Amino acid sequence: MPKYIFVTGGVVSSLGKGVSAASLGALLQSRGYSVHARKFDPYLNIDPGTMSPLQHGEVYVTNDGFETDLDLGYYERFLGVKLSRNDSVSGGRIYWDVLNAERRGDYLGSTVQMIPHVTNKIKEYIVSPTNTDFVICEIGGTVGDIEGKIFLESIRQFANDVGRKNVMFAHLTLAPYLEQSGELKTKPTQMSVRRLLENGIQADILFVRSPRMLTSDECAKIGMFCNLPAKNVITSMDVDNIYKIPLVYDAQHVFDIMAEHFGLPNATGDMSKIHKIENHLNADLPICTIGVVGKYFDIADAYKSLNEALFHSGIQNNVHVKIKKINAETVSDEDFADVDGILVPGGFGHRGIEGKIAAARYARENNIPYMGICLGMQVAVIEFMRDVVGDENANSTEFSKNCTPVIDIMSDCDREDMGGTLRLGAYPCDIKTGTLAEQIYGMQHISERHRHRYEVNIKYKDILEKNGMIISGISPDGKLPEMVEVPSHKFFIAGQFHPEFQSNPFNGHPMFNAFVAAAKKK
C-alpha cells in the first residue's frame, strides 16, 4: 500500500499548495521513491472546463482527455508523471457520482448522507490505484471554507482507516510581515492550525509562507502553539522562481522529517536537475523576447503552462526568455518592433480575433519566427487564405456563419456534456517527411494533447498548398490537419494541439525549443 501525504492550506488562498505538493514529490523522487499526485477541489463545478480563465486560471488537459485544475500541470512538470481523470476531483463531481448512484439504486434504499456516502466516495478517489510508493493529495481551498469541510472529514477518516503512520498531514499557512512595526506575525498560522484541529486533523509539518526565513525563536513559538516540534516548522520563503522551492525545502531537511514520520531510511538526494535550473536562472545570458498575443492577461495563471514552456525552452537554448504581453484587442504593428518571435496561443470566442490574425500576418510578411497554438493555427490559416490566396471572405464558422469556412466543426468529438463538444486529450499525428515539423520532432508519428471544438477544413488543403502553406501534420485517417507551416518563411509553424501541456523544465518541448532557437537567431 502506498503512503499518503495530504496538503492543506489556511489563512488565505493562492499560497502555493500545488507547488509545495509538487516539491515534496520532487524530494521523494530524488531519494528514489515513486510518486503520484492528486488534486481535490471543493468547488461545485463538475470540472474546470466551463470556468473562465480570468477567474480560475488555465484549464489543464490530461492525456486521457479530462479538463483539470492547473495544479496538475505543476505535478506533471515537476514529477514527470502522466496524470489522469482520477487525479482531479471536484466537489461537484463527488456529489454528481453519489446522486447518480442513488438514482441507480446502488445504496439499496438507504438514506443517503454526507457520512458515510459522500466521504466514502472521496476516499474511493484517494485510493485509486497508482502503483507508486507515495500519493500526494492536495486539498483545494482554505481551511474554514464551508464546502471544504467534508473533504477534511474524509482525510481524517482515511488516516484512521489506513493507520496514522501511513498518512502525513502537511499544512501551508501565512506569516504576514507588518512593515510599519517591523514584525512577522505568527498568530494567523496558529489560528489556521487550530481550525484544522477543529476538524480532527493534527498537522505533522507546517510550511509557513514568509518573505524571509523564520528565526529559531519563531519556529519554536509556532511549534509550541501548534503542537509539533520546532524542526517541523518550515519556512516556505518567497522565491523568484517556483523551481527553487524544492531546494529551499531540502536545505531545511524536509525529507528527513518525512523519513522520520514514515519510518524511511535517511538518504541524500540527487538534486542536480533542480540545481541546473537554479544555475540557469542565475546565469548572465542573452534575452530573447517573445510577443504573446492573447486576451487573458488580467490573471497571471491564465497562460501558466505556456509561460512555463517558454521558460523551459530558454533553459534548453541558453537564453532568458522575456514574455511581452500583447493585447489582441488593441494590437498594432508597433507592438512587434522589439520582439524576436511571435506566438499566438489558444483561446475561445471572437473577442480579439482580428488582432490575432494581424499578428500572424505581421510575422509572415516580416519573416519573424511564428508559432501558433490551437486557435493560433486557425488564425494563421485564415490570414493566409485572405492575404495570399485572396479570399477576403475566409473565416471560421465560430465567428461567422456567412463565410468561406476554412475553419469549421469537422470531427466527431469525444465529449458531449454540459461543457459542450470538444476534442480533448492526446491524439496521434502523422508528420510529412521533409518538413520543418519532421525536423523539429525527429520522427513521423507523434501524440499531442488537444482542447478545441473547431478544425482546419481539409477541403482547402490543395489551395493552401498550391499557394505555399503546407499541411505538415495530419490525423492518421487523413481528415484533420494537425500542423501547418510555410516553407519559404524563416520559421512559421502552427499546431492544432497544445504542446505546452507536455513541456517540462528538464527537456522542454521540441516545438517550443525550436521556436525559441529560431527567435534566438533573430
Taking the C-alpha atoms of residue 152 and residue 42, their distance in angstroms, rounded to an integer, is 10
Smallest CA-to-CA distance from 248 within 26, 76, 74 is with 26
Convert the pLDDT of each residue in 369-383 to its tens digit. Answer: 999 999 999 999 999
The x, y and z cell numbers of residue 132, run together, are: 507508486
Sites in the chain below the pLDDT cut of 50 = 413-419
- Using CA atoms, how far residue 487 sits from 125, 161, 228, 304, 465, in Å, is 48, 61, 63, 30, 10
Q: Domains of the chain, with CATH numbers?
A: 3-277 (3.40.50.300), 283-521 (3.40.50.880)
Q: Look up residue 512 and give its amino acid.
A: F
Beta bridge partners of 372: 344, 494
Taking the C-alpha atoms of residue 504 and residue 303, their distance in angstroms, rounded to an integer, is 15
Q: What is the pLDDT of residue 240?
A: 87
Task: List the catalytic residues.
Answer: 374, 498, 500
Contact between residue 51 and residue 213 where contact means Cβ atoms under 8 Å apart: no
Beta bridge partners of 324: 291
Q: Cell 489551395 identifies what position?
A: 463
466 Cβ neighbours under 8 A, 6+ residues apart: none
Taking residue 111's Cβ as centre, other Cβ atoms within 10 Å add up to: 7
Taking residue 198's Cβ as centre, other Cβ atoms within 10 Å add up to: 12
Phi, psi of 318, rounded to the nearest 5 degrees: 55, 45
Taking the C-alpha atoms of residue 514 and residue 436, their distance in angstroms, rounded to an integer, is 10
DSSP state of 228: S
DSSP secondary structure string for all residues of 114-135: IIIIIHHHHHHHHT----SSEE
Q: Cell 492536495 identifies what position?
A: 138
The x, y and z cell numbers of residue 230, run together, are: 520546532
DSSP state of 104: H
Taking the C-alpha atoms of residue 498 and residue 280, their distance in angstroms, rounded to an integer, is 25
Phi, psi of 168, rounded to the nearest 5 degrees: -125, 135
User: Any alpha helices (H) in 80-173, and if so which ranges?
Assistant: 91-104, 119-126, 149-162
DSSP reduced 3-state for 394? strand
Taking the C-alpha atoms of residue 452 and residue 460, their distance in angstroms, rounded to an integer, is 20
Q: What is the pLDDT of residue 416?
A: 42
Convert the pLDDT of each residue in 348-361 to its tens digit. Answer: 888 899 999 999 99
